[in-house]
Amino acid sequence: MIAIDTNLFVYYVDSSEEAKQQKTRQWLADLRQTQAEPVMLWQVAVEFLNCMRRWELAGRIVRADTIRYFERMEAWFELIVPSRTVLHTALDLNSRYSLSHWDSLLVAACIEAGVTTLYREDMADGADYDGVRIVNPFRQSLP
C-alpha cells in the first residue's frame, strides 16, 4: 500500500507551480492505473484542507474550489483515519530517527495503515523508517 504527502495534492491544484503541477497530474493519473492501492492519510487530508482554506482567505480560490478539489481526492483515494496508538508510535519514531513532530506522525500513520511506500518530496529519498520507504516522485518513477 502507498500514501501520498500533502504537497503532492497541493501541486495537483496549484497553477502557480506549473511544472510541478503538470508532473504531479501525470504522476497521479499513472498512479491510479497501477495496483498500488494508494490511500490518503487523515493528516494529509487535514493539511490539504488547511492549505485550501488559506488560499480562500488570500482570495486565490473560493469555497466551491476547495470542496471540488477535496471531493476529487476523496473519490480517488481511501481515507485512512488513525487510532490513538499513532501518537505513541510517533513519539518513538521521533526519538529513534530524530524526525520532526509532523513527519513522525505521518510515518506512524503509515505504519498503522500498512503503508510501505510514502511518496514525499521533502524527506530523504530512499530512507526507510520501520518498513516505510520514502520515495520522492520527482526523482523516481512509479513502481
Asked if residue 1 has pLDDT above 60, the reply is yes
pLDDT for 131: 97
Q: Report the predicted TM-score, pTM, of the whole model to 2 decimal places.
A: 0.89
pLDDT for 138: 84
Q: Domains along the chain?
A: 2-135 (3.40.50.1010)
Nearest alpha-carbon partner for 125 in 5, 36, 24: 5
Average pLDDT over residues 19-34: 86
* Secondary element (H or E) of residue 30: helix 18-32
Residues 6+ apart with CB under 8 A from 65: 13, 52, 56
Degrees, nearest 5: CA angle 86-106-63: 110
Residue 76 cell numbers, joined: 480517488
pLDDT for 140: 61
**CA 98 to mean position of chain CA atoms:** 20
pLDDT digits (tens, 9 = 90+) for 36-81: 788 999 999 999 999 999 999 999 999 999 999 999 999 989 999 9
